[in-house]
Amino acid sequence: MSKESTKKTAPTIIITGTPGVGKSTHAQLLAQESPAPLKHINVGDLVKEKNLYESYDEEWQSYEVDEDKLLDELEPIAAAGGVILDWHTCEIFPERWADLVVVLRCNHTKLWERLESRGYPLKKIQENNEAEIMEVVLEEARSSYAQEIVVELQSEGTEDLEANVARIVEWVKAWQRDQAS
């Protein structure tokens, strides 16, 4: 379905990045402050709640997601708009869903501390830390979506959080004006 045939009243925003960069914190604040109604979907939580996985890996403490089931579950929600998809990967989401893709970034020392305080196993902390240094999610976003809708934002402190959300709110207002014209 083309974007023209589905006139959305609110955008679909993907907030992505390595675990611990601040996706849920940003998504929660954005859902509160957005001038257009945006529902925050924590995709990892949805996977668990709706059993959208094939298996659970004890050693890595992570779920092997059933991507077909996940996409089927999200399709009507994401295509309709008014949603923030919060997940540590983004390339499986069809390009047509996304109006904006925010990739959050964090200094790796700070990220290490955040992941350690979550009680992640050491090798999971290491793997995520390396992924952040190697810009894995940023590359994924850039190769999956049009350059002009992908935004990289730092997420280290509260000032970043507030400035980032204010910036996204301005983007939502511009999106609304654009839709109305």
**Toward ligand DAT, which CB reaches closer, 45 or 72?**
45
Of 42, 19, 44, nearest to 129 (Cα)? 19
- For ligand DAT, the closer of residues 109 and 158 by Cβ is 158
Asked if 45 is part of the footprint of ligand DAT (rule: CB under 6 A), the reply reads no
Phi-psi sector, 37: left (phi>0), alpha (psi -120 to 50), beta: beta
Nearest approach, Cβ of residue 85 and ligand DAT (Å):
12
Give, for 60, the enclosing helix (H) or strand (E): none
Binding string to ligand DAT for residues 98 to 127, with x set by CB under 6 A, is what? ----------------x-------------
Q: State how far the Cα of 157 lies from the Cα of 171, in Å rounded to an integer.
A: 21
d(CA 66, CA 126): 25
Binding track, positions 12-31, relative to ligand DAT; x by CB under 6 A: -----x-xxxxxxx------
CB of 19 to ligand DAT, least distance (A): 5
The conformation of residue 3, written as its DSSP 8-state character, comes to: T
List of residues contacting ligand DAT (CB under 6 A): 17, 19-25, 114, 155-158, 160-161
